[in-house]
Amino acid sequence: MNVKSELLKPGLEVASLSDVGCQRENNEDSVLYWEPPARELESKGRLAVIADGMGGYEGGQEASRLAVETVREVYDNVVGDDPHVALLEAFSRAHEKIQAYAVAHPELQGMGTTCTALVIRGRQLYFAHVGDSRLYLVRGAHIARLTRDHSYVGRLVESGIVRAEDAEKHPQRHILTAALGAGIDVAMQSGEQGLALQASDDLLLCTDGLWGVVSDQELETAVSGRTPAECCATLVKLALQRGGPDNITVQILRVLPEA
């Protein structure tokens, strides 16, 4: 396990941790934090991305790697000052790049990945999402999931066939209905308007290797009273204690009071 934690800029603390889990031989998750040079920080903001690849050993690893790297590259170079538009462009390009890679490497046909990305610009949050990795906002003693799962079971929950509290245990919960690299077009969820953040807010990105075995309430409890690095370590340890059936990745960004 490798925890990374530092006060990268005044106003924000970031930590991430990824573990292969107890039942997999390789880690198909990818996680990234990026910020531009200081002169562009106000206009571009900070970017965090998490992805969970699928398609077998090399296919899943390559898909998640391509996703986070392409989202960062495109977001960095896109013209304009609208984070929402930039994220959508970045996801579309990542979708195309993964598909092109699969064509060039036929043995990886079927590769794809979830992807959830957020931008913090000033005190405004923007995000884009596809698949079943998740973004949570923890504020005080309340946790709210900002993304919805693009999965077969997610559709059952939305239609009222399956209760939300039963979804995490459903045997078909891992069947995705959307992913980068899969299908002609990709259906993305995004927040068109920025969400106002407050001091002490925590943004938690995670793959299903965590949320599949750790409840939302346990996520909120783990964040309370701990540094982001301590929280990452606590949550991954808990997932491992419960069998770690999948790769486990978590990234936490804490909004600090302005200097």
4-252: CATH class: alpha beta
**What is the distance between the alpha carbons of residues 230 and 222, in angstroms, rounded to a whole number?**
9
**Crossing angle between the packed helical segments 228-241 and 216-223, to the nearest 10 degrees:** 140
Give the 3-state DSSP-derived string for 11-62, with helices as H, strands as E and coil as C: CEEEEEEEECCCCCCCCCEEEEEECCCHHHHHHHCEEEEEEEEECCHHHHHH
pLDDT of 152: 59
**What is the distance between the alpha carbons of residues 249 and 205, in angstroms, rounded to a whole number?**
8
pLDDT of 171: 53
The Cβ-side half-sphere exposure at 26, using a 13 Å CA radius, reads 14
**What is the distance between the alpha carbons of residues 44 and 113, in angstroms, rounded to a whole number?**
25
Tokens of residue 40, six digits: 């562009």
Task: Tell me the pTM.
Answer: 0.91
pLDDT of 174: 65
pLDDT of 1: 59
pLDDT of 173: 59
| Count of other CB atoms within 10 angstroms of residue 77 | 10
pLDDT of 153: 59
Tokens of residue 139, six digits: 């504020």
The Cβ-side half-sphere exposure at 12, using a 13 Å CA radius, reads 24
pLDDT of 109: 87
Q: What is the mean pLDDT of each run of 10 residues along the chain (259 residues)?
A: 61 94 94 93 94 86 97 92 93 96 91 97 95 96 93 58 57 74 83 88 97 95 94 97 96 90
pLDDT of 241: 97
pLDDT of 183: 82
